[in-house]
Amino acid sequence: MTKTYTISSERLTLKAINDIIFNDRKIKLSDQVISNIKKSKTYLDAKLSESDKPFYGINTGFGSLYDVKISKRDLTKLQENLVMSHACGTGDKVPEVIVKIMLLLKIKSLSFGHSGVQLSTVNRLIDFFNNDIFPFVYTQGSLGASGDLAPLAHLSLPLIGKGKVTYRKRLVNTTTVLKKFNWKPIKLEAKEGLALLNGTQFMTAYGVYCLLLSHKTSYLADIVASISLDAYDGRIDPFNDLVHLIRPHAGQLKVARRFTEFLKDSELIHRKKEHVQDPYSFRCIPQVHGATKDTIDFVEKTMITEINSVTDNPNIFPDEDEIISAGNFHGQPLALAFDYLKIAMAEIGNISERRIFQLISGQRGLPAFLVDNPGLNSGFMIPQYTAASIVSANKQLATPASIDSIVSSNGQEDHVSMGANAATQAYNLIRNVERIIAIELFNASQAMVFRKPYKSSTFIELFLKAYRKEIPFIKSDEILHDDIEKTIQFLKKYNITDFELFLNDYGIKADLLETE
């Protein structure tokens, strides 16, 4: 039986979201959350009935139309018009897993009782989540400032019976799904459209998914780099704890100790070396990979704060008798965090490509381009080209999005974060890093064969044995695209939970989402 997760006042963590999404948990609201939502709605209704005072977006127009008063009889139409008019997204389809996270995070934000929405509206979002009904959302359209207006408008259209959804892997009209479940469209009341559209759930959903990818990818980078180190006949000295205790950055220490564990019983790493030092791409792995890990931890703290916050506008405070129009929807904290994450993950790909280059360069007793009879065979010459091309693309993607701003809404919204662009760039960049690391594994596994009869560690040998079941040693030139793609899939096939179990099977105790 599927375990149900209760949305309460407790903080959502990255580990909890990973569990909810990838173990197909259903969700429900706690009694306290239900009370908070009802209290906020009751307060708002009373405030509107007893006063004609203008409240932004509740009984006024939006953006630069903030001073246009709307009559009480048109408040529902105002909110429905808002949702429809803001559904201006374009571009690619947002992956379903990210849409599912968007639903979860929107429900969490509304659960605090500062948004003035109907309980039925939140429950319908829960219905969508629990039945894997995913609104069709586009990647382009958000400035990351007045909330993720366009993406959240597309997320909200099915609530009023409009737009399209994906259900059971098929794209259908929302009306088809509503009819199937005998649901009627939600009749939005005062402020609800604004509460749904003002928010950062597009950015934060991408942020959550990018963090899950980053945690796994950075761990895989350590595994693959340890294989490369052994295949290159590298030295273990730079990973000695003594070195890192006198410069004790947390990520640096973690990486160095991880390499020591991965390679503890390797014949190759402990044999006598003819060289005194390795190139930086090997010798400085703890410093480079470690700095990225510290960045991931920083970004995670930012995202966790955001997903446990109220990011719509105006904010309703029943106990204080206040309705305040402010700017919690502005994505600047997220935009900066995404740009930092992009740079950090790009560096993982950057240093990986340098190790690929070293492995094919004909040094340390390895054949040029890792193939017998080089010249007749080009071997692994061109996979390095591919990696270099992807690294260059990542440098372009890593250019900060947050340094840009374009005025919108007739000057009322005159500074925007562009955090949504940073979010989609981060997603594409991290996927690129997965491909670079796969090419490094492809190269390193090939190089290891030339080290026989020496063996690597028990863990590495078992890891390579699992890899070799799917990707063979290359004896002479063939179409390498197929092997690269198989390697990418080999690294992608496990979610974080399954990957931890995979590692445990090989004697490595790992908690990829551990908090410091």
Q: What is the spatial distance between Cα 102 and Cα 107, in angstroms, rounded to a whole number?
A: 9
Q: What is the spatial distance between Cα 256 and Cα 244, in angstroms, rounded to a whole number?
A: 8
CA distances from 348 to 261, 268, 493 (A): 20, 24, 20
Catalytic residue numbers read 56
Are 135 and 158 contacting, i.e. CB atoms less than 8 angstroms apart? yes
Neighbours of 473 (CB within 10 A): 11
Secondary structure element (H or E) that encloses residue 172, with its range: strand 170-173
Q: What is the spatial distance between Cα 344 and Cα 233, in angstroms, rounded to a whole number?
A: 27
Are 465 and 490 contacting, i.e. CB atoms less than 8 angstroms apart? no
Are 168 and 53 contacting, i.e. CB atoms less than 8 angstroms apart? no
Residues forming beta bridges with residue 508, ordered by sequence position: none
Secondary structure element (H or E) that encloses residue 282, with its range: helix 280-283
Which amino acid, one-letter code, is at 492? K
How distant is the alpha carbon of residue 345 from its chain centre? 12
Which residues fall within 8 angstroms of residue 315, CB to CB, at 6 or more apart?
114, 115, 323, 324, 326, 328
Q: What is the spatial distance between Cα 183 and Cα 179, in angstroms, rounded to a whole number?
A: 6
